[in-house]
Amino acid sequence: MDMDRPLETAHSATPAMIDPFGRAVTYLRVSVTDRCDFRCVYCMSEHMTFLPKPDLLTLEELDRVCSAFVAKGVRKLRLTGGEPLVRRDVMTLIKSLGRHLETGALDELTLTTNGSQLARYADDLHAAGIRRINVSLDTLKPDLFAEITRWGRLPQVLEGIEAAKRAGLQIKINTVALKGVNEAEIPALIEWAHGQGHDITLIETMPMGDIDGDRTDQYLPLSAVRRALAERWTLDELDFRTGGPARYVRIKETGGRLGLITPLTHNFCESCNRVRLTCTGTLYMCLGQDDAADLRSAVRTGEGDDILDAAIDEAIGRKPKGHDFIIDRDHNRPAVARHMSLTGG
Ligand code: SAM
Ligand code: SF4
């Protein structure tokens, strides 16, 4: 390769951000708020202390940082949280970011949501250019749903999913596999999702942030889930990738796609293409490491983007090789102290 020429993304003439291990960073996940209307047991403790409002990037600042990343070669933006749709005026940001889809600078603008506000926003999301969303749903049993989310109501989420479908959004269901909690229901969830025309992805619990319970009680290795599913159904390995860390299989009997995200049992770091921005402007180069860059002071330092651009380049220059997540009896402390709701998963 000619090292004097800037590396380019496959899609455009935009020079790509390349990390020290040769990986192009093309995917930015943005947590637009650390707040949420649910308190899922594996994600948050019941009494959370949230960030003071002045610490948050304003919607305009979030737009500036996201747009700086797009100018540097990010092709996919995912908004998450906390619950992204509970941030006040979030549609202003989403509509504004939609301009990068129109210019072709961005391939995809998407969202991970708990679904509680979808009935209200589904049409607006579609109008802003969003075509696919991830909705988190761990059970179809109303009582268990209330237990897992503490504050959530299942009918509200199911109505949201219906509204999203009607609006023309493609839906992927994300389900955290929880030992002894929704474990037995996983085949039924898959059948339901595929019956509705949705993909579904199973996620292992990750050791992030203090929660009220014991994580070794919740941890269910997906290797075991997959073995159990393979006894029931025919699983055909697929090459399909969405730019995320999931591996996909097609279930012959349901005809649908099942993704498996196994950060603990399978190391997916070698193909990592993403970085994460929190709502305070902190950039995490790896979900499982504490090293971070402060982009808020960079964005607040000046009108122009020179300082911000330099801060982004410097941060990408120290993206680590991978994470060190382990959950077992000897390591029953969070591998990273921050909650998932800060970086958004
Ligand atoms: N509130 C939105 C939602 O629930 O989809 C977006 C943010 S939430 C932090 C993003 C995803 O992370 C959800 O699918 C959630 O189930 C997952 N998650 C939260 N804590 C987790 C943990 N400790 N391990 C694995 N997944 C987790
Ligand atoms: Fe809220 Fe999502 Fe965390 Fe549940 S997983 S508490 S919905 S941020």
Q: What's the pLDDT score for residue 265?
A: 53
- Assign 3-state DSSP to the chain and report helix, strand, coil percentages, each to 5: 35, 20, 45
CB 32 within 8 A of CB 281: no
* Spans of all domains in the chain: 24-343
Q: Of residues 61 and 46, which shows the higher confidence score?
A: 61
Cβ-contact 208, 339 below 8 angstroms:
yes
pLDDT single digits (tens) 216-242: 678 898 989 999 999 999 999 998 666
Q: Any residues with Cβ below 6 Å from ligand 2, and which?
A: 36, 38-40, 43-44, 81-83, 114, 136, 341
- Among protein residues, the one with the nearest Cα to ligand 2's atom 4 is 40
pLDDT of residue 345: 59
Going from the Cα of 42 to the center of ligand 2, the distance in angstroms, rounded, reads 9
246: pLDDT strictly greater than 90: no
Q: How far is the CA of 233 from the centre of ligand 2 (A)?
A: 31
Q: Write the CB contacts of 104 (distance below 8 Å, at least 6 apart in sequence).
A: 12
Return the SS3 of 307: helix
Top mean pLDDT of 157-161, 244-248, 302-306 is at 157-161
Distance in Å, CA 251 to ligand 1 centroid:
24
Q: What is the pLDDT of residue 245?
A: 67
| Closest ligand to the CA of 138 | 1
| Confidence band of 329 (pLDDT split at 50, 70, 90) | very low
| Nearest Cα to Cα of residue 19 among 225, 251, 269 | 269
Q: What mean pLDDT is reported for the chain?
A: 88
Residue 261, strand partner residues: 203
288-327, pLDDT tens digit by residue?
A: 788 899 999 999 997 788 999 999 999 999 988 886 655 4
Q: How far is the CA of 2 from the centre of ligand 1 (A)?
A: 42
Does the structure show a pLDDT above 70 at 49? Answer: yes
- Residue pLDDT, tens place only, 251-300: 999 999 999 987 655 456 778 889 999 999 999 998 778 889 999 999 99
- One-letter amino acid for residue 174 of the chain: N
Q: Which atom of ligand 2 is nearest to the CA of 44?
A: 6
Q: What is the mean pLDDT of residues 169-177?
A: 97
Q: Which atom of ligand 1 is nearest to the CA of 31?
A: 7
* Count of all residues that appear for the chain in the document: 345
Global pTM?
0.90
Whole-number Cα distances in Å, 217 to 54, 178, 288: 37, 8, 21
Candidates 39, 137, 35, 134; CA nearest to 83 is 35
205 alpha carbon to ligand 1 midpoint, in Å? 9
CA of 190 to the centre of ligand 2 (A): 21
What residue type is assigned to position 113 of the chain? T
CATH code of the region 24-343: 3.20.20.70
Say if residue 123's pLDDT is above 70. Answer: yes
Q: Determine the Cα–Cα distance for residues 170 and 132; give it in Å rounded to an integer.
A: 4
Amino acid letter at 122?
Answer: A
SS3 assignment, position 95:
helix
Integer Cα distance of 282 and 296 in angstroms? 7
Report the pLDDT value the prediction gives residue 94, as an integer from 0 to 100.
Answer: 98
Query: Half-sphere exposure of 30 toward its Cβ, with a 13 Å CA cutoff?
Result: 33
Question: Closest residue (by CA) to atom 13 of ligand 1?
Answer: 136
Q: Whose CA is nearest to atom 3 of ligand 2?
A: 43
Strand order in the sheet with 292-294: 235-237, 247-251, 257-261, 199-203, 170-176, 132-136, 108-113, 76-80, 27-31, 274-277, 282-284, 292-294
CA distance 205 to 190: 18
Does position 130 have pLDDT exceeding 70, yes or no? yes
- The distance from CA 91 to its chain's CA centroid, rounded to whole angstroms, is 18
